Homo-oligomer: A and B are copies of this chain.
Amino acid sequence: MAYRETEKMRQRKAEARNKIIESTWECVAEGGFRSARVTRIAGLAGVATGTLYRHFESREDLFAEIFRLATQREVDKVAEALSVPGSAVERLDSALRKFAQRALKGPMKAWALIAEPVDPKVEEERLVYRKAYASLFEQAIRDGIAEGCLPEQNPRLSSTCLVGAISESLVGPLSPTQTAAAPGTDNHQDELVNAIVCFCIRGLTDSRS
């Protein structure tokens, strides 16, 4: 007997894997998924194209993984914003704000996650991601109804509407052409975020009904 996988090797492989993930993310942040070429990714990671396939089943799988990771970060941030003390409405307000602000800070990444046309496997991940957001919001809405600070409503539907409203409002500002043309001032962005959050909160809270 001879070669047996050792800790050192395991680490080295993990490192390579991370490098690949990193360079993929770099490519995506540059021009989205569609324009990220495996050759470029491998090149950036300092490995041969073939090596990439020792770590990931396929380009699509690699992308799905990247998507999952990036997404997890975002969802965690929103979850965090929702888990501070305060009324449900306050918590929702801060979570929506967080979502929008983060998106505007990394427009290309946000566009890739929210709106870029992607391959089926990645699209699947996107649905998961949107559901994750919706679930978070949904729970907060339920809390709000229980607390009495939100009127009776279908929490699932309302949360989906939140995700849609905020995503759509950001697509314009995020889309690559738009971004290139008009970077947008901080002030402008704050205003945008305010208006979006305003609409969303109103959508949930109407004091009639």
Q: List residues of A whose CB falls within 8 A of some B CB.
A: 116-119, 123, 127, 130, 153-154, 157-158, 160-169, 171-172, 175, 192, 195-196, 198-200, 202-209
Contacts and interface: CB of A to CB of B under 8 A. Distances in A.
Given A202-B202, A202-B209, A164 B157 contact: no
21 contacts: A117-B118, A117-B119, A117-B123, A153-B198, A157-B192, A157-B196, A157-B199, A158-B195, A160-B165, A160-B172, A161-B196, A161-B200, A162-B165, A164-B164, A164-B171, A165-B168, A202-B203, A203-B203, A206-B206, A206-B207, A207-B208
Which of A117, A167, A195 has the most C-beta atoms of chain B within 10 angstroms of its own C-beta?
A: A117
Contacts of A171: 164
Given A153-B195, A157-B196, A161-B200, 4 more contacts: A157-B195, A160-B168, A164-B167, A202-B209
Given A198-B153, A206-B202, A127 B167 contact: no
B161 A165 contact: yes
Nearest to A192: B157
